A and B are shown apart, each in its own frame.
Chain A
Amino acid sequence: MSNNLTVSNTTLVWGFGLVLVALVIGYREKLGINKDVLIGVARAIVQLSIVGYILKFVIKTDDNWLTMACFVIIVINASWNAGKRGNGIPKAFRNSLLAISVGTVVTLGTLVLTGSIKFVPEQIVPVTGMIASNIMVAIGLCYRNMLQTFTDREQQVLEKLALGADIKLASIDILRDSIKSGMQPTIDSIKTLGLVSLPGMMSGLIFAGVDPVKAIKYQIMVTFMLLASTGLGSIISCYLGYREFYNQQKQLNSKLLQ
């Protein structure tokens, strides 16, 4: 593997000029975004620097327990963020934790057991991050869709319940739409792979000097992995989440609706 990576602190400082482009646009057009841009840039620099040093330590130490600890931290953090997107849905963190844990363990386990990746920190930690963040986004979309469609279709749900339908039958259309909304971005991005986007994993490998054909194989694996993980995360979070819209008497909890 040849190494042509030439980013240094000096080049980063020059690169900061690109942030100035965004700031100038924000200033001239009076968008009121400059404060957010600066906070975002500062956070990105600090967070990524810390993560960089942590990853360096984890990879250098090459300890299974430390790798597992990274896995757990990523999963909990992703679940916490997904839970926040639940916007009032009870037990959103708990349900997200279960969905992200199952989605990540199943996908990562399959990749390790089939020999696609090795149980080493430099592979496990980034792949866990990729899987967990994608499930996190999918769950966020599922929750948002569920809140919106329960609100839009409140009358229909009430009528179904009044006819004696169980909560699953009364919510099945909403469940299907919400699961679909969680998976849709992954499905859409797959369709344009290679045509519009050269995704991060593949670009990273090519940057690092890996043969593009080999990089593509990894990207195909990542595609399979993301499809499975967002599917699992969406289905688990939706099937656990929709129950929270009802009380024990199988009545719709209108307080949750927007």
Chain B
Amino acid sequence: MKNILEIKDLSYQVGDNKILKHINLQVESGQYLTFIGPSGSGKSTLMRIVASMLTATSGDVVFDGKSIKDYEPTKYRQRVSYAFQQPTLFGKTVKDNLEFPFLVRNQEYDQKKAISALEMVNLDESYINKSVNDISGGEKQRIALLRNLLFRPEILITDEVTTGLDTENKEIVHQMLEKFNKEDQMTILRVTHDESEIEHAAHKITIKDGEMI
């Protein structure tokens, strides 16, 4: 398998506070990596740098053979998609959220594609016109994830997306991510504190005090 992502001697600091120290990592296409470590160890910062939401103080991130610096940021983020821990939904309805990835790509909204995406996370067609205020936290997280997945990214970064979800919602998210990883060879970088997720993870990477151990 070829390396889809390489993190080369990456460091990040704010003032004198060194948050990440000389991180090196190679990620193969189709890998499902789980990043673990105590809170404040730098996992989310590392993921945000890989997602081009932050810029490293030194070092480089190479995606698909090219430095992250050489990509147009919006095009890069469409290929390397970052999902937040506690997402907010946009606009008034679920449709506003599923329409957003089409808007980003200047494409006409495809209702059929949006409905089949909803079905992937066990939500039926009736959800499309539901108000974002009338859905549960678990449904909100599943819909937010669909915004990342409607157009398949090559790398999906999930930053504690199952935190606060009940067992049923967690299972739905797990199954969906497993499916994309196995069937579409989507590379997944997952940050988690969830014990069951950590226990079942095939490839674990521990970050502690800004260092990879």
Contact = CB atoms under 8 A, between A and B. Distances in A.
Interface string B120-153: 0000000000000000000000001001100000
B103 interface: yes
A249 interface: yes
A64 interface: no
B81 interface: yes
Interface string B65-82: 000000001111110011
B109 interface: no
B75 A156 contact: no
A164 B77 contact: yes
B84 A251 contact: no
A181 B134 CA distance: 29
B88 interface: yes
A159 B104 contact: no
Nearest to A156: B88
A187 to B, nearest CB: 24
Given A163-B147, A164-B74, A164-B81, A249 B88 contact: no
A6 to B, nearest CB: 59
B54 interface: yes
A250 interface: yes
A164 B75 contact: yes
A84 interface: no
Given A250-B73, A251-B53, A162 B90 contact: no
B7 interface: no
B84 A155 contact: yes
B180 interface: no
B74 A162 contact: no
A113 interface: no
A22 to B, nearest CB: 47
B100 to A, nearest CB: 6
A158 B53 contact: yes
Contact of B84 (A162, A165, A247): A162
A166 B54 contact: no
A92 B104 CA distance: 29
A169 interface: yes
Contact of B51 (A155, A162, A165, A247): A162
Contact of A163 (B55, B75, B81, B86): B81
A162 B81 contact: yes
A251 B52 contact: yes
A161 interface: yes
Contacts of A164: 74-78, 81, 101, 104-105
Contacts of A166: 74, 104
Contacts of A243: none
Interface in A222-253: 247, 249-251
B104 A155 contact: no
Interface of B: 51-55, 73-78, 81-84, 86-88, 90, 100-101, 103-105, 144, 147-148
24 contacts: A155-B84, A156-B88, A156-B90, A159-B87, A160-B100, A161-B53, A162-B51, A162-B77, A162-B82, A162-B83, A163-B81, A163-B101, A164-B74, A164-B75, A164-B76, A164-B104, A165-B74, A165-B100, A165-B103, A166-B104, A169-B104, A249-B55, A251-B54, A251-B55
- Sorted nearest first, the 3 A-B pairs with minimum C-beta distance are A164-B78, A164-B77, A162-B82
Interface of A: 155-156, 158-166, 169, 247, 249-251
Given A163-B81, A164-B74, 12 more contacts: A155-B88, A156-B90, A159-B84, A159-B90, A159-B144, A161-B53, A162-B82, A162-B84, A164-B78, A164-B81, A165-B100, A250-B73
